[in-house]
Structure 1
Amino acid sequence: MKLRGRTYVPDPQPLPPGGGRSVSPAELNERRRRLEREFAELQFDLGGLAYEMAIRDHFRVDLLVRHAARLQALDAELGAVERLARMDEGGAAGTCPNCDALYPRGAAFCSQCAHPLMR
């Protein structure tokens, strides 16, 4: 673990086995369906949490923010998967070997971590 200034920067994690492998259109669609389902559940949970706090007239903003942050991160991942799914060539070319983010065909660098994708 390293601290630069006051910002925590985690140590790089080793690549998972098979990191950087190609992703088929079917795998991309399955990932999108899973993320959509998870997003809907988290959104429902956040609404329920806010409702329960409202009827008790006791709000825990830290708890709401934590749940909203999880929802926001999932929404960003879902947006990236949906962009890749809409591509004319029918899906992603693969996953980044550094951060496991999906990337489109012809990409020279990862859009998440700027890792070079072409040798």
Structure 2
Amino acid sequence: MRALRRQYVQAEPAPLPPGGGRAVGHDELLARRERLTREFAELQFDLGGLAYEMAIRDHFRVDLLARRAARLQEVDAELGAVEQLARVEGGGAAGACPNCDALYARGARFCSQCAHPLMRSE
């Protein structure tokens, strides 16, 4: 019975070796948060202005509004992830994805942006 249990238990995956992703320091994390905060504010301002201009002309292009809103949502999601990582113990991210450069926390097995594996199975 014990032999059967061992057969199905998987070993904990090992983290990627150095160079598999790049380490992200606390200063870089704060700089990224600042850049995303500015970009979010600009996108929000532009979306509001665009909606206002369409309203005063009584001609709405929903496809254009939806594309701009989708970009705003992407930046908002990335900003939320960066802010969460800034609060993680030690004040930093574990690293950046080698595929898309998105930040990830310690213990993450896959990138939240592109699903690239961050740990290697043994």
**What TM-score comes out, normalization by structure 1 length?**
0.77
Residues 31-79 of structure 1: per-residue CA shift (max 9 Å, x gap): 0000000000000000000001111111111111111011011111111
SS at match of 2:119: coil
Which residue does 1:11 correspond to in 2? none
Which residue does 2:98 correspond to in 1? 97
SS at match of 1:28: helix
**Structure 2 unaligned runs (5+)?**
1-18
Report sequence identity in percent: 81
| Residues 23-102 of structure 1 aligned to structure 2 (within 5 Å) | 23-102=24-103
More RCO (CA 8 Å, sep 6+): 2
In 1, the alpha carbon distance for the partners of 2:86 and 2:58 equals: 43
Which residue does 1:4 correspond to in 2? none
In 2, the alpha carbon distance for the partners of 1:87 and 1:99 equals: 21
**Structure 1 or 2: more helix by fraction:** 2
Which residue does 1:116 correspond to in 2? 117
**Structure 1 unaligned runs (5+)?**
1-17
Instruction: Give the deviation of 1:90 after TM superposition.
Output: 1.1
**What TM-score comes out, normalization by structure 2 length?**
0.75
Instruction: Give the deviation of 1:19 after TM superposition.
Output: 6.9
- Find the structure with the greater CA-based Rg: 2
Q: How many residues align?
A: 102
Instruction: Give the deviation of 1:116 after TM superposition.
Output: 3.1
